[in-house]
Amino acid sequence: MKSKFLRILLAAAVMVTVSATAQTGTSNTPAGSAAQPANSLPSAPGMASAAPSTGTKVGTININEAIFGSNEGRKEIEALQKKFEPKQTELKAQNDELDGLKKQFQTQSDKLNDDAKASLQKQIESKQKSFDRLVQDAQEDFGTQQQDIAKKILQKMAPLIVKYSQENGFGVIVDTSKPWPESPVLWWGEAVDITKPVVDAYNVQSGVPAPAAPTSGAAKPPATKPTTGTTASKPATPAAPKSN
């Protein structure tokens, strides 16, 4: 599914989930329990109620990468993409039809009388509005279901994040899902990032095997794999996500 429409649909849907999973409070609430705007994930059980840590280190985690870089997250998002393939095919057909009408208008408008030209233009405008509305509905539906996946996984992953942090001497964990200035984190070093070890531990806990590698031409999961945890410094500026 390499169509332009597929990329637009999935990219827009991903942004819905990223914005919902990538926010944490700036108070003493441990990172990983999302802030509570109207459409964001609720606080995961076991986070805010965890026993106080005696550690002093500050660590980071990319919650979005942790969720969708886990075997369970990858498996769930691939299944969701598969579910939406019929809708993608349907909308791609409508998009192709609309493109055909636009090309017809461009090449034949000077040969049509005023009534025929106005009729074709009205048909294009009507189909464009209908198509845009259907795409928006599909994006919202995909985003809602993807957010449900993130919520389910985060509720199980949150206690593990707390446990790992306490056992490794961390007093504070901050979420780096969003770059500065959307996030208050200006810069961090990858040596303090716990995304990969949390994902590795969660994969063991969940027992979900890694999904098979996608075949050529198949849609890729819209989330990146967790970072490798090397010691190179990592600026919190917009950049292409790194994968393992």
Side chain identity at residue 161, one-letter code: I
Tokens of residue 65, six digits: 């990468």
DSSP 227-238: P---SSEEE-S-
Residue 127 confidence class, pLDDT cut points 50, 70, 90: very high
The pLDDT tens digits for 35-88 are: 333 334 444 554 555 556 667 899 999 999 999 999 999 999 999 999 999 999
β-strands 187-189, 233-235 pairing: antiparallel
What pLDDT score does 50 carry? Answer: 54
**Residue partners of 170: CB distance under 8 A and separation at least 6:** 53, 55, 57, 58, 59, 194
Distance CA 48, CA 51 (A): 9
**Residue partners of 37: CB distance under 8 A and separation at least 6:** 23
pTM summary value: 0.66
Could you state, in order of their start, the residue ranges of all structural domains in the chain?
Answer: 4-85+132-235
The pLDDT tens digits for 128-181 are: 999 999 999 999 999 999 999 999 999 999 999 999 999 999 999 999 999 888
Distance CA 174, CA 179 (A): 12
